[in-house]
Amino acid sequence: MIDTAQKNKNIIEIRDLVKVYKTPAGEFTAIKGLDVDVQRGEFVAVIGKSGSGKSTFINMLTGIDRPSTGSIYIDGAPIHDYTEAQMAVWRGKNLGIVFQFFQLLPTLTVLENVILPMELNNLYSKAERRERAMNLLEKVEMTQQANKLPAAISGGQQQRVAIARALANDPPLIVADEPTGNLDSKTAEKIFLLFEDLVASGKTILMVTHDSDLARRANRTILISDGEVVNEYLVRALSSLNQDQLIEVVKHVKPHAYPRDTNIIHEGEVGDKFYIILEGKVDIVLAQRGGGSVVVNQLHPGNYFGEMALLGSGIRTATVRVTSDADAKLIALDNKAFNNLINESRLLREELTKITAERAIPQRDHATMRIKRVVPQGEK
């Protein structure tokens, strides 16, 4: 159940979304009970291998396809219940779509392509449409090409025009389907920076992409695998992995629940697992000389722990305990799986090495304080 405050934050609310296709070989479930929330002003990357279900997901989000069951609310509108006619009207005023192949009308000029959505949806006066279109072309640095046909400009320029067209009716949400897929890396970077500017101005963007490097730079990443959304905190924790590596992790580990106030690992024991937090919070606890303990850090969903023992001496340097607030859910990679990952990903290895060094500082500081406390008075 979503509270009112959360509803006001969310522009997209998807619950138990299912899509089943009937084929000669029988029914095929492309989407399996998706639950997704997207807040206003977020820049969300949607990734997944070919056949994962991400295109089906986007098609249902834009109304091109319809769910078998489940609900999709966008800015409060129940688009899963809309007729085709209702969907067309709603889409024209509330959703901007940027396609991989631009989809500009070849017989219209750049300016006319941007004006067209306003005409189709009967928005603004004729003079206002032209002025608004020119302002949008200025935003994407295409005013000098306004009177040219799409065939006379480059692919990157056509994509800029497509973005201006998507903004024509001032929609709160923009869905971009592989917007950089046909562009060189330099042009793709410019398009990405343009999206960042749009998000900074208050737009919400969902960008389907196969480019893992671009996906990492979005606010959030939604990874779809076999019709299901992979836990986003797992994706966040292992953001330096590529899609294949992430999906491999998902296939071989299952989440485990830990009750509140439960110790997950103990200081001084041999470390043989690497943990990622999916739900709840945990405290990093150090024993004090003479008895008692002190909390030196708290970790949240998307954080991980256990790497210090696996990368270092093999001995746990702290106790990790679930907080008293709520239960926690984690996944654990054994030593072999952990080593496979860091051997395959230089970025992950570097990230873990850096984190290990940073976490060692408060523990060294605490150890120094313990030593100082037991130094006899008068000694240095």
pLDDT given for residue 232 in this prediction: 85
Instruction: Please say if the pLDDT value at position 376 is more than 50.
Output: no
- The reported pTM is 0.78
Nearest to 173 by CA among 141, 202, 138, 134: 202
**105-141 pLDDT per residue, tens:** 999 999 999 999 999 988 899 889 999 999 999 988 8
The mean pLDDT of 142-161, rounded to a whole number, is 92
Identify the DSSP state of 119: H
User: Whose structure tokens read 């299912």?
Assistant: 18
**314-345 pLDDT per residue, tens:** 899 899 999 999 999 999 998 888 888 888 88
Please name the CATH architecture into which domain 251-374 falls: Sandwich (2.60)
Range list for CATH 2.60.120.10 in the chain: 251-374
Please name the CATH architecture into which domain 4-229 falls: 3-Layer(aba) Sandwich (3.40)
Q: How far apart are the first and last CA of the chain?
A: 60
Range list for CATH 3.40.50.300 in the chain: 4-229
CA dihedral 314, 319, 323, 328 (to 10 degrees): 30
Burial 237-250 (b: 16+ CB within 10 A, else e): bbbbbbbebbbbbb
Average pLDDT along the chain: 86
**167-192 pLDDT per residue, tens:** 999 899 999 988 888 778 888 888 88
